[in-house]
Amino acid sequence: MTDAFVPRRGLRHGHVMTIYAWARQRAFPALPPQDARLIRVTDDTQVLAHCYWQPDRASRPTVLVLHGLEGSSGVHYMLGVADKAWRRGWNAVLLNQRNCGGTEHLTPGLYHSGLTHDPREVIRSLTATDGLRDFGVVGYSLGGNLTLKLAGEAGADPTVAPWLRGVCAVSPTMDLARCVDALERRSNAVYQWNFMRNLKSRMRRKAAAWPGRYDTAPLAGMRTVRGFDDAYTAPHHGFAGASDYYHRASALRVVERIRVPALIVASDNDPFVPHEQFAAPEVTGNPHIRVLITRDGGHCGFLSVPAPDFDGYWAERTAVEFLAGIV
């Protein structure tokens, strides 16, 4: 495993680390040209994955990377994990969840925090078409919830279990109700506003791409992620409401069933992912799960002091090194 996390000077405050890491520009010149792969996951839905292949891809392990709420394959941590994995000899597959990364036209539906069907189909497809055999999964925030839920469900899926070697979840929202409660604190208003700005814009693009399917009128008075989930996410996916959705889509319900090595990386100063959820008996009682909680790190930040051949993004390096120690 990597060294203990030491935050970069001036970034110890959770909000400062979170916002700085989100806004900071990065470049990844070592990555090869990407292969844009459309993968059919249902009869009416395709998802877009941006893939970075090694020359002999079938002989190499592959990391599948899952983004957070309103992210895409182009957000910095997705490319950061890809860069570190590719330089270690891995393939990297960055999945855009339904509607993300400009893919609203590829599906009539919406994504949600527990929709593990799609990454499972991606793994199945890549084993069949490209001969890939060894997968690790890394997920951030909402993608971290998906990652842990996928690992918990994989044991009952003989088409995925043989190929899934290990997972790492960074700042995962694995208890969705607890995280949404935290997001609604006054101190987190800027994050709520940003999520809602993006959710509303995407929903309007979705309605334009699929005329007559979605009513955008409720968006005008909507202020919270919970309100959005009550109006759109929950009913679209057959949940009774936001509370039912948060319960049923949370990885916390299935983490006790994880049977592959799993690492959770979190911070005790994350503004809206309370670290107390990682002390749940479902987590601590599973010997396959390791929990690594740092004193500082914010939400999906973890920016440390750089060194030769290390850009300072500690969680990305930790995730890749963890998986490399398994495969």
Q: What is the CATH number of the domain that holds 118?
A: 3.40.50.1820
Q: What is the mean pLDDT of residues 255-260?
A: 97
Of the CA atoms within 13 Å of residue 97, those in its CB half-sphere come to: 24
> What does the pLDDT read at residue 1?
57
Any domain includes 130 = yes
pLDDT at 78 over 70: yes
pLDDT in tens, 223-237: 999 999 999 999 999
Any domain includes 1 = no
Q: Which residues are catalytic?
A: 141, 270, 299
Q: What is the mean pLDDT of residues 33-53?
A: 98
Any domain includes 220 = no
Model confidence band, residue 250 (pLDDT cutoffs 50, 70, 90) = very high
Any domain includes 67 = yes
Identify the domain containing residue 56 by its residue range.
Answer: 14-175+251-324
Q: What is the mean pLDDT of residues 162-172?
A: 97
Any domain includes 152 = yes
- pTM of full prediction above 0.75: yes
Cα–Cα distance measured from residue 244 to residue 246, given in angstroms and rounded to the nearest whole number = 6
Kindly state the tokens that stand for 10. Answer: 């001036």
Any domain includes 311 = yes
> What does the pLDDT read at residue 300?
98
Q: How many domains does the chain have?
A: 1
Report the relative pairing of strands 62-66 and 135-140 from DSSP bridges.
Answer: parallel
Residues 292, 264 contacting (CB under 8 angstroms): yes
Residues 61, 91 contacting (CB under 8 angstroms): yes
Any domain includes 221 = no
Share of the chain above pLDDT 70, in %: 99
DSSP, collapsed to helix, strand or coil, labels residue 179 as helix
Mean pLDDT of the chain: 97
User: Smallest Cα–Cα separation from 290: which of 323, 250, 248?
Assistant: 323
Model confidence band, residue 301 (pLDDT cutoffs 50, 70, 90) = very high
> What does the pLDDT read at residue 215?
96
Model confidence band, residue 327 (pLDDT cutoffs 50, 70, 90) = confident
Q: Which helix (H) or strand (E) holds 243?
A: helix 242-249
Any domain includes 236 = no
